[in-house]
Amino acid sequence: MLEVDELRAGRRVARALKGFGAWFLAAVVSVFIPVAHFVLVPACLVGAASVLVLRLRARSLVVRAHGVCPDCGVEQDLDVLGPWRGQPRAVSCRACHRGLELRVR
């Protein structure tokens, strides 16, 4: 079972600005760390810009993924949270470590 949350433009923008703000705040706090601020501030600003772009592009998010492994039969939550682009995604069983492919029907 795969639960996907479709994000409208307003929620996408709010989510992107929230992530950008968190990284920008980290950059501001990093200014006060001697010597390390030469690396931390630029890294946080790059992180802020990349989070902004990635979150604006994400049109849907995986909220929950749950299933049964066809080999060992273990029922489990799958680690696929995050953006969903519609194409199959590779996951592995936590019990037997078999490679699985998750796709929407």
pLDDT tens-place string over residues 52-102: 999 999 998 888 888 888 888 889 888 887 888 778 888 888 889 888 888
First-to-final CA distance of the chain: 10
Helices (H), the chain: 9-30, 37-57
Query: What pTM value is reported for the model?
Result: 0.74
Show the tokens assigned to 10: 């307003």
- Domains of the chain, by residue range, sit at 7-57, 60-102
Pairing of strands 89-92, 75-77: unpaired
Q: Give the residue from 50, 93, 56 showing the smallest Cα distance to 75.
A: 93
Distance, in Å, from the CA atom of 42 to the CA atom of 40, rounded to the nearest integer, reads 6
